Amino acid sequence: MAATVTGSSGNMAEATAPPLIAHVVHRFDIGGLENGVVNLINRLGSEYRHAVICLTDYNPQFCRRIHHPAVSYHALHKRPGQDWAMLWQLGRLLRQLRPAVLHTRNLATLEAQAIGWLARVPARLHGEHGWDMADLHGKNRRYRMLRRLFVPLIDRYIALSVEGERYLHDEIGVAAGKIERIINGVDAEQFQPLPRRRDTLLPAGFVPEQGVVIGSVGRLAEVKNHVALAHAFGQLLQQRPELRQRARLVIVGAGPQREAVQAILQKSGHAHALYLAGAQQNIAEWMQSFDLFVLPSLAEGISNTILEAMACGLPVVATAVGGNRELVEPGVTGQLVPLDEPESMVQAVLDYVEDAPLRARHGAAGRARIERELSLARMVERYRGLYRQLAFTDSTAAGLHARTDSTD
């Protein structure tokens, strides 16, 4: 990593430079949390400068999604386990950058708050976005103790969901006045209902003329549970053989569960009806190629992919976990299915496959809710207000100086 810091606190131009927000992530690459950082930076305008600090590394191609001119990227190349050298490097970087606000996200970056405190970053903000396989329900005793340990060092918390807000208050002991609940928003112009766009995305002949595409987007990781979706799809085609020539399953995303998903449908004799698209950049176009969206996750915060599907006018079938219960209105915009009842997922998907008017009604209701409550503009304004509170107080004046032009 290399960072170049220009100017000094005595320079008038620097003194009037916009405040710097330091966003700390584990890795900056394709993912829901990371897409949220992209959307936020792109839409905050010239009021702030930004540094994206990656504990491990970043994907240069993914970084191109950010169009803001005042953004620097920093890779610390963290080694597995406790990497003290990386923490020293982080402290040095923060002292060079002198951000007004340090914004960490999820447990993986929480230790950066201690470094930020030592580096005298004036305002420190932490967001809890959801769970992973190591702690699906936030019950891991060690992780809870770590979170409690850092509470005195953090000025404000962001919870994306009601569940997350309750967890921070009831389990971690964060004062209610320190928690802001800011639900994710979606770009309703980029993601909108359009005529199905399949010819340029899917193999020729994969979807028959009267075919129905069941779609899912997400990392093929254990927590996203695409294996359960593959099982449900296979059961659907076994129970309703006439759908073998109509129903198709498309999963957009890459990850270690890819081979397991393929094996399930090969074993059931339905590999012809599956298309694994891998990681893609043009998610809106893929959403617009679906008739129905399914998210079978074991745990979720506020799912960006559910929001994107709703914005594209798709009905949603999702497991009744985490923030999914706040986004999907059963019988209105989609269906929620119990995590431990695979037959419920089969039935919910079947209901939509067989009923085009139902798909249209629930999809339209989802789109209407996005426009009414869950727009990206609404989310950005909430963050803008919080950053202003933190960055423009007397206590954060020291963070307004450093001008950074950095490369890694």
The string of DSSP letters for 337-405 reads E-TT-HHHHHHHHHHHHH-HHHHHHHHHHHHHHHHHH-BHHHHHHHHHHHHHHHHTSGGGGGGG--EE-
- Rg (C-alpha) for the chain, rounded Å, is 22
All structural domains of the chain = 5-185+375-404 (3.40.50.2000), 212-373 (3.40.50.2000)
Contact 73, 408 (CB under 8 A): yes
| Lowest mean pLDDT segment, chosen from 248-252, 389-393, 404-408 | 404-408
In this predicted model, what pLDDT tens digit does every residue of 272-290 receive, in sequence order? 999 999 999 899 999 999 9
- What pLDDT does 401 receive? 40
- Residue 51 β-bridge partners: 22, 72
Contact 79, 86 (CB under 8 A): yes
Cα–Cα distance, 350 to 239 (Å, whole number): 10
Mean pLDDT to the nearest integer, 332-353 = 96
- What pLDDT does 150 receive? 97
Nearest to 113 by CA among 132, 130, 99, 96: 99
Contact 220, 331 (CB under 8 A): no
In this predicted model, what pLDDT tens digit does every residue of 15-27 receive, in sequence order? 578 999 999 999 9
Residue 11 pLDDT greater than 50, yes or no: no
Contact 15, 403 (CB under 8 A): no
| Cβ atoms within 10 Å of 389's Cβ, excluding its own | 16
Specify the pTM.
Answer: 0.82
Cα–Cα distance, 255 to 278 (Å, whole number): 8
291 alpha carbon, distance to own chain's centre: 22
Nearest to 234 by CA among 124, 334, 346: 346
3-state helix, strand, coil in the chain (%, to 5): 45, 20, 35
Residue 244 pLDDT greater than 80, yes or no: yes
- What pLDDT does 400 receive? 41
27 alpha carbon, distance to own chain's centre: 13
Residue 202 pLDDT greater than 70, yes or no: yes
Residue 205 burial class via C-beta count within 10 angstroms: exposed 0-12, middle 13-18, buried 19 and up: exposed
- What pLDDT does 125 receive? 98
Q: Sorting pLDDT into bands at 50, 70 and 90, what band is 108?
A: very high
- What pLDDT does 199 receive? 84
- Token digits for 32? 């829901």
- What pLDDT does 15 receive? 56
Q: What is the mean pLDDT of the chain?
A: 90
| Lowest mean pLDDT segment, chosen from 28-37, 63-72, 230-239 | 28-37
Cα–Cα distance, 242 to 249 (Å, whole number): 15
Mean pLDDT to the nearest integer, 210-239 = 96
Write the CB contacts of 407 (distance below 8 Å, at least 6 apart in sequence): 2, 4, 72, 73
Mean pLDDT to the nearest integer, 82-92 = 96
In this predicted model, what pLDDT tens digit does every residue of 110-133 receive, in sequence order? 999 999 999 999 999 999 987 766
Mean pLDDT to the nearest integer, 60-84 = 94
In this predicted model, what pLDDT tens digit does every residue of 168-178 receive, in sequence order? 999 999 999 99
Cα–Cα distance, 104 to 112 (Å, whole number): 7
- What pLDDT does 133 receive? 61
What are the C-alpha distances in Å from 348 to residues 72, 271, 332, 390?
Answer: 45, 22, 13, 45
Residue 323 pLDDT greater than 70, yes or no: yes
Nearest to 45 by CA among 22, 71, 75: 71
- What pLDDT does 274 receive? 98
